[in-house]
């Protein structure tokens, strides 16, 4: 089995998990469908499924388009408000796709539908948890809740040190680190009080400001419809 971040540019990570000639994409971005198809074809991989760690606000997901085009499942957490999902997952879901086992852990906070996707040696954390100083994703966007995020962070204690944290956003070229490393180097995992977390999140949200693509990306993801005009592609 191989796991690779195949984003062609930008800060939003897309993971390709390949095994036995088949592939799963986690958090693919609509803008890069041609890029993913090229990689799949070059490596003679058949796309078997798509998954989203949460309803994204910063890009249009490729999941509903790839699901329709390839007639493959699109998996998301069972209570997601997003349409276009073909198969819902919960804590009891165990999937085996091309010999790789997938489990799901609900970690609401950044959004209500955030999950950790777990496979052997890797956790795909979306914007629930980043590597190192980047901390975690913001909680001030639609369906975000600080208190729930804090509670979800405590549930990480059930996961071992040696899993690799494959997050939803990292600066290009970032070397991914283990959960054990993050327990020592991610400021959020060293915090002992909710107040500390709240302060960190407030400062971070102020620094980040508004999300430029949200008014196009969020409705597209909720309704599973690609808009006729995508401002960042028509410039
Ligand atoms: Fe996000």
What separation in Å is there between the alpha carbon of 181 and the centre of ligand 1? 23
For residues 205 and 138, the answer to whether their CB atoms sit within 8 Å is yes
User: Considering the entire predicted model, what is its pTM?
Assistant: 0.97
Confidence of residue 186 (pLDDT cuts 50, 70, 90): very high
DSSP 3-state assignment of 90? Answer: coil
- The CATH H-level superfamily of 2-210 is Ribonuclease Z/Hydroxyacylglutathione hydrolase-like (3.60.15.10)
Q: How far apart are CA 160 and CA 178, in angstroms?
A: 9
96-105 residue pLDDT tens: 999 999 999 9
pLDDT per position as a tens digit, 125-134: 999 999 999 9
How far apart CA 39 and CA 187 sit, in angstroms, is 36
**Mode of pairing for the β-strands spanning 22-26 and 15-19:** antiparallel
CA of 159 to the centre of ligand 1 (A): 22
- Domain boundary assignment for the chain: 2-210
Return the exposure string of 42-69: e unless at least 16 CB atoms fall within 10 Å of the residue's CB, then b.
eeebebbbbbbbbbbbbbbbbbbbbbee
CA of 12 to the centre of ligand 1 (A): 9
């Amino acid at each position: 089995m191989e796991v690779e971040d195949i984003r062609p540019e930008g800060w939003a990570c897309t993971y390709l998990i390949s095994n036995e000639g088949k592939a799963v994409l986690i958090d693919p971005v609509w803008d890069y469908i041609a890029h993913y198809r090229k990689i799949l074809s070059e490596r003679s991989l058949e796309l078997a499924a798509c998954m989203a760690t949460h309803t994204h606000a910063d890009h249009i997901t490729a999941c509903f388009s790839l699901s329709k085009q390839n007639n493959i499942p699109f998996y998301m957490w069972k209570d997601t408000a997003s349409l276009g999902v073909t198969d819902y997952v919960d804590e009891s879901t165990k999937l085996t796709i091309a010999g790789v086992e997938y489990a799901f852990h609900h970690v609401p906070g950044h959004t209500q539908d955030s999950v950790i996707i777990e496979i052997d040696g890797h956790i795909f954390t979306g914007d629930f948890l980043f590597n190192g100083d980047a901390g975690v994703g913001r909680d001030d966007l639609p369906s975000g809740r600080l208190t729930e995020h804090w509670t979800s962070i405590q549930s990480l204690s059930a996961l071992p040190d040696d899993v690799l944290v494959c997050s939803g956003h990292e600066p290009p070229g970032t070397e991914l680190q283990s959960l054990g490393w993050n327990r020592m180097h991610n400021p959020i995992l060293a915090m002992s009080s909710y107040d500390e977390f709240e302060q960190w999140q407030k400062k971070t949200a102020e620094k980040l400001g508004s999300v430029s693509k949200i008014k196009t990306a969020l409705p597209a993801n909720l309704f599973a419809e690609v808009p006729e005009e995508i401002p960042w592609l028509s410039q």
